[in-house]
Homo-oligomer: A and B are copies of this chain.
Amino acid sequence: MSDASTDSTSPGVRLSGPLYKDVKRQMMELLTRGEWKPGEAIPAERRLSERFGISIGTVRKAIDELVGENILIRQQGRGTFVATHNRDRLLFYFFHVVAEEGPKEYPDVRLQQFAKGKADRVAADRLGVEIGDAVFRIRNLLRLGGTPVIVDDIVLPAARFPGLDEKQFRERPSTIYNLYQEAFGISVVRTSERLSATLADADSAALLDLEKNAPLLQIRRVALTYNEVPVEYRVSHVNTMHYEYWNELGRS
């Protein structure tokens, strides 16, 4: 219990710095390797403290950080679970388009296009692949309150989504990120977005039931999984006539 370097759960070597950071890193490896799967409970804190041969408080500190990054979820009396992508999580963390007044709505997603293609310069750069590498291109139209509000153009690196087909997108029971997680073991943990104002092109205008050159909010998003690895590039165009992009600053 004392020598971590001979423990099967600790493939890495204890290098330096705080012990709880090392424990956190080891837990991340278990997650990345899929030994702890989304939706499952991880071992109890007491058990982990015994396994790692450390104090329970140190285990808690490691878990605290993973909970803070929305990778684990604590539930008093039940256990600590690996986070899954459900509707509520999407709505709470990743979907920031809201009505001017009233509660948050979940969008009605309709697939418009599904195609295989090659990565252009921008997508390759954002996804960390080579120009010309195989990608999937998906276009979705999102409705809120019954009217079309958002056009999503998604680019996925084909190498990470082997066998992805249109059917999976149509039959998706929950969110898109849930599909990535369930079917391909890819958990989106964080996204980075860049927003700008543009004018509607003919395509977007038609889909969103607007005049050409109407003002649209453009969102360019990169979705990242564990260890900051990019897995999706998405360009959204939002009609902000009745909906807006909501954001809070200074929370962390």
Interface size in chain A (residues, C-beta < 8 A)? 34
User: B196–A217 contact, CB under 8 A?
Assistant: yes
Shortest distance in angstroms between A251's beta carbon and chain B's nearest beta carbon? 6
User: B245–A191 contact, CB under 8 A?
Assistant: no
CA distance A117 to B93 in the complex (A): 38
Give the residue of B198, B199, B250 whose beta carbon is less than 8 angstroms from that of A70.
B250
User: A93–B190 contact, CB under 8 A?
Assistant: no
Q: For the complex formed by this chain, how many copies does it contain in all?
A: 2
CA distance A96 to B193 in the complex (A): 11
Q: Provided the pairs A197-B198, A197-B240 are in contact, do residues A248 and B217 lie with their beta carbons within 8 angstroms?
A: no
The 0/1 profile, CB within 8 Å of B marked 1, for residues 70-99 of chain A is 100000000000000000000001101000
Chain B residues lying within 8 Å of A217, measured Cβ to Cβ, are: 195-197, 217
CA distance A248 to B196 in the complex (A): 15
User: B190–A246 contact, CB under 8 A?
Assistant: no
CB nearest neighbor in B for A193: B247
User: B198–A244 contact, CB under 8 A?
Assistant: no
Chain B residues lying within 8 Å of A13, measured Cβ to Cβ, are: none
Shortest distance in angstroms between A98's beta carbon and chain B's nearest beta carbon? 8
User: A248–B198 contact, CB under 8 A?
Assistant: no
User: A190–B251 contact, CB under 8 A?
Assistant: yes
Give the residue of B94, B194, B240, B245 whose beta carbon is less than 8 angstroms from that of A250.
B94
User: A196–B240 contact, CB under 8 A?
Assistant: yes
CA distance A189 to B248 in the complex (A): 11
**5 additional contacts, CB 8 Å, given A217-B217, A251-B252?**
A190-B250, A193-B246, A193-B248, A195-B195, A215-B215
